Amino acid sequence: MRILARGLELAYRGGPTVVVADRLELPDGELVSLVGPNGGGKTTLLRSLAGLLPPRAGTVTIGDRPVYGRRGLSRRDRARLLSVVLTDSVAPAYLRVRELVAMGRLPYQRLVGRESSDDRRAVDRALAQTGTAHLAGRPAGRLSDGERQRVMIARALAQEPEMLLLDEPAAHLDPPHQTALFQLLDTLVRDGIVSTAVIATHHLHLALHFSPRLVLVAGGSVHPGAAADLLESGALEEAFLRDLPPATAAESRLDPRRGWFVPSG
Partner 1 sequence: MHPPVPPRGRRGPAAIAAACAALLAATAASLMLGSVHVGFSDLLAVLGPGGGASSGGDSVSAAARIVTLVRLPRTVTAIGVGSALGLAGLVMQTVFRNALAGPGVLGVTAGAGLGVAAVLLAGVGASIPGLTAVAAMVGAGLVLVLALTVNRIVGQPVFLLVLGLLFGYAASSITTLLMAAAPGEGLERYVVWSFGSFALPPGAAPWVILAAAGATTAALTVAAPRVDALLLGPQYAESIGIHARRLHGTLILLAGTLTGLVTAFTGPIVFLGVAVPHIARGVVRSSRHRILVPMTALTGASLALVADIAARLPGSDRVLPLNSVMALVGVPVVLAVILQAQPEATEELGL
Per the DSSP assignment, residues forming a β-bridge with 33 are 199, 214
Q: Does 93 bind partner 1 (CB under 8 A)?
A: yes
Per the DSSP assignment, residues forming a β-bridge with 69 are none
Q: Does 104 bind partner 1 (CB under 8 A)?
A: yes
> Rounded CA gap, 196 and 183, in Å?
14
Residues 110 to 129 in contact with partner 1, rule: CB under 8 A: 111-113
As to burial, measured by CB atoms within 10 angstroms (0-12 exposed, 13-18 middle, 19+ buried), residue 92 is: exposed
Inter-residue contact 107 to 118 (CB < 8 Å): no
**AA identity, residue 113:** G
Q: Does 247 bind partner 1 (CB under 8 A)?
A: no
Cβ-based nearer residue to partner 1, 35 or 86? 86
Backbone dihedral angles phi then psi of residue 96, each to the nearest 5 degrees: -90, 155
Among 1, 60, 62, 143, binds partner 1 (CB under 8 A): 143
Q: Does 82 bind partner 1 (CB under 8 A)?
A: yes
Beta strands 260-263 and 252-255, pairing class: antiparallel
Instruction: Kindly state the smallest distance separating residue 128's Cβ from partner 1, in Å.
Output: 19
Cβ-based nearer residue to partner 1, 14 or 16? 14
Inter-residue contact 184 to 203 (CB < 8 Å): no
Among 2, 6, 59, 99, binds partner 1 (CB under 8 A): 99
Q: Does 103 bind partner 1 (CB under 8 A)?
A: yes
Instruction: Kindly state the smallest distance separating residue 135's Cβ from partner 1, in Å.
Output: 9
Q: Does 107 bind partner 1 (CB under 8 A)?
A: yes
Q: Does 79 bind partner 1 (CB under 8 A)?
A: yes
Q: Does 51 bind partner 1 (CB under 8 A)?
A: yes
> Rounded CA gap, 134 and 110, in Å?
29
Q: Does 144 bind partner 1 (CB under 8 A)?
A: yes
Compute the C-alpha angle 186/190/196, nearest 5°: 75
Q: In what order do the strands lie in the sheet with 17-26?
A: 65-66, 57-62, 3-11, 17-26, 221-226, 213-218, 30-35, 196-200, 163-167, 82-85
Q: Does 84 bind partner 1 (CB under 8 A)?
A: yes
Q: Does 94 bind partner 1 (CB under 8 A)?
A: yes
Q: Does 75 bind partner 1 (CB under 8 A)?
A: yes
> Rounded CA gap, 181 and 39, in Å?
23
Q: Does 96 bind partner 1 (CB under 8 A)?
A: yes
Among 27, 39, 76, 262, binds partner 1 (CB under 8 A): 76
Kindly indicate which of the ranges 2-10, 19-27, 68-76, 195-203 contains the residues binding partner 1, using the contact rule CB under 8 A: 68-76
Rg (CA), the chain: 19
Among 2, 4, 9, 52, binds partner 1 (CB under 8 A): 52
> Rounded CA gap, 73 and 199, in Å?
23
Per the DSSP assignment, residues forming a β-bridge with 224 are 215
Name the residues that contact partner 1, by CB under 8 A: 13, 47, 50-52, 74-76, 78-79, 82-84, 86, 88, 90-96, 99-100, 103-104, 106-107, 109, 111-113, 137-139, 141-144, 159
